Chain A
Amino acid sequence: MLRNLRELYQYRALLWSLTLRELKARYRGSVLGFLWTFLNPTLLMVAYALVFGVFMKNETKNYVFFLFIGLLPWTFFSSSVGMGASAISDRRDLLTKVRFPPQVLPATVILTNLCNYLLSLPLMFALGIYFGTLPSWHIVAYPLILAIQILFTLALVYFVSAVNVAFRDLQHILSNILTFWFFVTPVLYAASSIPPRFREVIMLVNPMAAVMISYQAVFYDHRLPPAGPLILVAVESVVFLWLAALVFDHRREDFAELV
């Protein structure tokens, strides 16, 4: 795992260039260009605000803000995993022509989505100010939560991108899993609304649940995230990353032949 990450660091120039290219390429040729990076979440926000703020009145206070605290990092997670599945298998053009560590490709997907997520954060803060909540000092915990989420995402993307090279069905299965996953993660609802007998199970088996309630704790409830579940997720993520890196490094020699 350490060798894998060290290589990633050595090739940071390539990683960063590919990420910049992805970011630029996405809206290249469109009239509004880079503005779309902000426009997309804004339009999403308007739609959610309409549905959950006007049509389906929810008793949660400032529900749209609450929703967005979880929805933005979830989008970061789900699009990283969704796009990450084909990160290796779609890059035949690079893998069969040049020698470079293949983990750069899944890492590029995550970094690209991370940039998009970070760029949408001002929007979330603006929404908070609109609802009259300024971020409190508890925000110091935010980088840690984000780091844990990135670690877990990296592990998962390593795993699915390596497996998808040989089993192309995975990317299709994955989009279904992600939809299901979204609904068993407290994004649309607070964790407190899950019946207690399910709550324990979900917090235990779904690492994203602990991450999400941590975000909500920091930004919505203005308190420090619960330490127990977060530490558990951190440990799980490191172990999972170690396993995923093992799988990835075991399979990497075959990538150039199978893509």
Chain B
Amino acid sequence: MDAIVIQDVSKHFRKSTVQRHHTTFKTELIRWVRRERRPQPQNFIQSLNGVTLRIPQGSTTGLIGRNGAGKSTLLKLISGIYSPTSGKVEVNGRISALLDLGAGFHPDFSGRENILINGIILGMSRSEIRARMQTIIDFSELRDFIDEPVRTYSSGMYMRLAFSVATHVDPDILLIDEILAVGDEHFSRKSRAKMNEFKSRGKTIVLVTHDLNTVQTWCDFAAWIDGGRIRSVGNPKDIVDQYKQAVELGEAQPASPPPANAPAPTGLGSPEPAFEVKSPPSDANGRMALQLRHVQLLDHRGREAKTLNPNDGLEVIADFETGEDLTDVGFSIRIASSDGVHVYGTSSFAEPIELPKPLPRSGTLRFTIERLGLAQGTYSIEIGAQTRAGITYDSASALSFCIASSSQETGMVMLPHHWLVVHRDRSTSHVQPMTAP
């Protein structure tokens, strides 16, 4: 059963409301006196355009996309704050929207009084709030401050209180707009635990976020919204990859027409085929034309690489198999830090490297890094096989390694370097390079 069904939904905003905020009698009167017509319908901003999406019950779905792509509008349509210009939004279950925290908070009222009013606004009954009051206060960790007026709170305390109320509403469907990073490290961990509890209790969660790592680790599905349309829906890993790729290419709109052999979308949603640009090509049996298997990371001694020194090398080894003779194929490597920052990426097209044509039906790819030169931390490596146009055949990413170093250098990379002090009176020939003891 689907918790949320979005059927071909479009949303327009009148442009005049954006430009002049609202019309007044004066402007209406002037228009009437001058016998001008009302603004023509092209004065509309199309925020969403034919979005179709089904979100199954109990799933966690991440919505990603650039600013202004229409993600928040979509959440507001689901929550019922906006109504669609055309199309239909169907919601099964009690909904709680964490779109902006602290709706209806009054600065002069105490935390306790605001819990009551905010809870009622969010749809709880008075008795429900009374029953949960202590839990909410405990969760917010405001202790003695709870009876102080909210205007005296720090912004962190304010957010903690608001978040505590919002998550204790006990909805069936939770809509979250970019608010998981509430409070300090400790509270942020606690709120994530709360979200995980929601998840394990089989609640449906829809999340708008720019934190791609969260989407990858936490969501069951991801939907990429671009220019008011669903660009693609599916496995978070794939969608995030496509999105990152697109951002790197700096493309704003779907550039190329879809490949003729685009398969029917599987799983949830039935986006228009035009947005399945990046679907993997498959052979007649529905299998992918190229498959990567047994991908591993090895250090210079040929052992599995787990913890490495900044000066160590690394080898990525991947066996591949193709179902047919492939000529339009290349391999790519991406390294990202644990917080999702892109550290390095290359591909055989990018350098370019000539690969055997056609590629052997079965073989092994060895990608050797002589010296990593990365600073301390955890990194993930991703390997993929693509066509020249960027359509992914297959990719593997769950590979990670650690860099441990005893030096105190900072940053992301360890640049190869040496230090030198030159004595002004003497010629450089007498100077000894300074090395670590």
Contact = CB atoms under 8 A, between A and B. Distances in A.
Interface of A: 13-14, 17-18, 21, 24-25, 28-29, 93-100, 165-170, 173, 253, 256-258
A251 B109 CA distance: 32
22 contacts: A17-B117, A17-B126, A18-B117, A28-B108, A93-B103, A93-B104, A94-B103, A94-B104, A94-B121, A97-B100, A97-B103, A98-B104, A100-B121, A165-B22, A167-B23, A167-B24, A167-B28, A169-B24, A169-B25, A173-B25, A253-B83, A258-B17
A13 B126 CA distance: 7
Given A21-B117, A28-B109, A29-B108, A98 B22 contact: no
Contacts of A94: 103-104, 121
Interface hub of A93, A95, A100, A257 (most chain B Cβ within 10 A): A257
A17 B99 contact: no
B204 interface: no
Tell me which of A18, A99, A173, A253 has the highest count of chain B C-beta atoms within 10 A of its own C-beta. Answer: A99
B54 interface: no
Given A25-B106, A167-B25, A258-B17, A13 B79 contact: no
Given A13-B120, A18-B117, A97 B25 contact: no
Contact of B116 (A17, A28, A29, A258): A17
**What are the 4 closest A-B residue pairs judged by CB atoms, nearest first?**
A99-B80, A97-B103, A169-B25, A253-B83
Given A14-B120, A99-B81, 19 more contacts: A17-B117, A21-B113, A25-B108, A28-B108, A28-B109, A94-B103, A94-B104, A96-B100, A97-B100, A98-B104, A99-B95, A166-B23, A167-B25, A169-B24, A169-B25, A169-B26, A256-B76, A256-B81, A257-B13
B152 to A, nearest CB: 12
Contacts of B109: 21, 24-25, 28
Contact of B121 (A98, A169, A170): A98
A256 B100 contact: no
A256 to B, nearest CB: 5
Contact of B82 (A98, A168, A257): A257
Nearest to B26: A169
B129 to A, nearest CB: 10
Interface string B1-42: 000000000000110010000111110100000000000000
B32 to A, nearest CB: 13
B125 interface: yes
Nearest to B24: A169
B151 to A, nearest CB: 10
A96 B76 CA distance: 8
Interface of B: 13-14, 17, 22-26, 28, 76, 79-83, 95, 97, 99-100, 103-104, 106, 108-109, 113, 116-117, 120-123, 125-126
- Report whether over half of chain A's contact residues are helix, strand or loop; otherwise say mixed: helix
Given A29-B108, A99-B80, A257-B17, A17 B26 contact: no
Contacts of B79: 99
A17 B120 contact: yes
B122 to A, nearest CB: 6
A25 B13 CA distance: 35
Contacts of B81: 95-99, 256
Contacts of B26: 169
A97 B117 contact: no
B17 A14 contact: no
Contacts of A17: 116-117, 120, 126
A258 B83 CA distance: 13
Nearest to A96: B81
With a 10 A CB-CB cut-off, give which of A17, A100, A167 has the most chain B CB atoms.
A17
Contacts of B117: 17-18, 21
B13 A13 contact: no
Contacts of A14: 120-121
A12 to B, nearest CB: 10
A259 to B, nearest CB: 9
A14 B109 CA distance: 17
B26 to A, nearest CB: 7
Contacts of A168: 22, 24
B4 to A, nearest CB: 14
Nearest to A89: B22
A257 B12 CA distance: 10
A169 B27 CA distance: 11
Contacts of B82: 253, 256-257
A235 B125 CA distance: 36
Contacts of A169: 24-26
A170 B80 CA distance: 28
A5 B398 CA distance: 57
A233 to B, nearest CB: 29
A24 B106 CA distance: 11
A168 B24 CA distance: 6
B89 to A, nearest CB: 12
A98 B125 contact: no
Contacts of B122: 98
Contact of A98 (B14, B23, B28, B97): B97
Contacts of B80: 99
Contacts of B113: 21
A258 B100 CA distance: 18
Nearest to A167: B25
